Amino acid sequence: MEKQINKLISSIKHWQYNVTEPLLLVTQRHIYERNYFSNDEEPLISVYVPTYNRCELLMDRAVKSVLSQTYTNFEFIIIGDCCTDGTEEAVKEIDDPRIKFYNIPKRDYRYPPSAENHWYAGPVVAANQALSMVLGKWIARIDDDDIWTEEHLEVLLNFAQKEHWEFVSSAYSAVRDGEEQVFSMIDEEIKISGTQTWLYRSYLKFFRYNIHCWRKEWNRVNDTDIQDRMYRAGVRMGYLDEVTCKIIPRPGETTIGLDAYKQNRGEKEQHFKFS
């Protein structure tokens, strides 16, 4: 019965997105694309990071990476998913007017709280909150445990502007069990890489993350779900075969991604449990 319910809800969401998002894309292009015909020298980029009770990791990786960028005209939106570990206090101690912090007041039940589902859908609410707040001409996401190269924003923006892409991504390096490997396109068909390498025009912010992504039988992770919808809607995507991001295991872990959640199942389910 549960499987049938999941399939039904997934089918309804799939139909809804297929009907509405291509139409919204055409409308948004008609209204806003003219603003991108002449490339601004330094357009505002809205960088956002969803986080939950990882204050030290957030400050050491994502915050340090963003504030070290060679491209400096950005706003940095940090969304706490009802953080209770001092994240808000730590962020407010940073003397930088580009930083905005919002802490979601409640963290109620959202999905069956397994380690896998926390990986699939965990950042969705916070990420969507961030998208409702962006003011920039471009949007970039970084997760709290990611590390950008110092030229990340500058390189991707130049590439997007030069080739007139609506959405661009790049290669990244990742460390698993002590071995570092460069990853190019995650999806060869649609030429797209990991979410921490994305940069896209802000009129695409109507694409919101799907809290029901965990119900699907494929593309179950929140970012692969949304990237597939963007591609099917007709977003013009470009890929830069240059490493602009590094992903390394979190302290006390040996691998990354879903594998890390599975290997530390008990810890993840305790950490991300709903209030």
Section 215-219 average pLDDT: 93
**How far, in whole angstroms, is CA 37 from its chain's centroid?**
26
pLDDT surpasses 70 at 189 = no
Residue whose C-alpha is closest to residue 167's, from 203, 143, 142: 203
Asked if 146 and 65 touch (Cβ cutoff 8 Å), the reply is yes
Could you give the angle at the alpha carbon of 196 between the alpha carbons of 173 and 64, nearest 5°?
85
Q: What range defines the domain where residue 18 resides?
A: 2-271
**Predicted local confidence at residue 84, as pLDDT:** 96
**Predicted local confidence at residue 78, as pLDDT:** 98
Q: How confident is the model at residue 275 (pLDDT cuts 50, 70, 90)?
A: confident
Q: Which CATH number goes with the domain that contains 30?
A: 3.90.550.10
List the alpha helices (DSSP H) in the chain: 2-32, 55-57, 64-67, 87-92, 115-121, 124-131, 152-163, 222-233, 257-263, 265-271
Section 206-233 average pLDDT: 96
Asked if 10 and 103 touch (Cβ cutoff 8 Å), the reply is no
- The Cα–Cα gap between 65 and 53 comes to 19
- For residue range 47-83, list pLDDT tens digits in order: 999 999 999 999 999 999 999 999 999 999 999 999 9
Question: pLDDT above 70 covers what percent of the chain?
Answer: 98
**Predicted local confidence at residue 38, as pLDDT:** 82
Domain count, the chain: 1
Section 10-28 average pLDDT: 97
- The Cα–Cα gap between 184 and 170 comes to 7
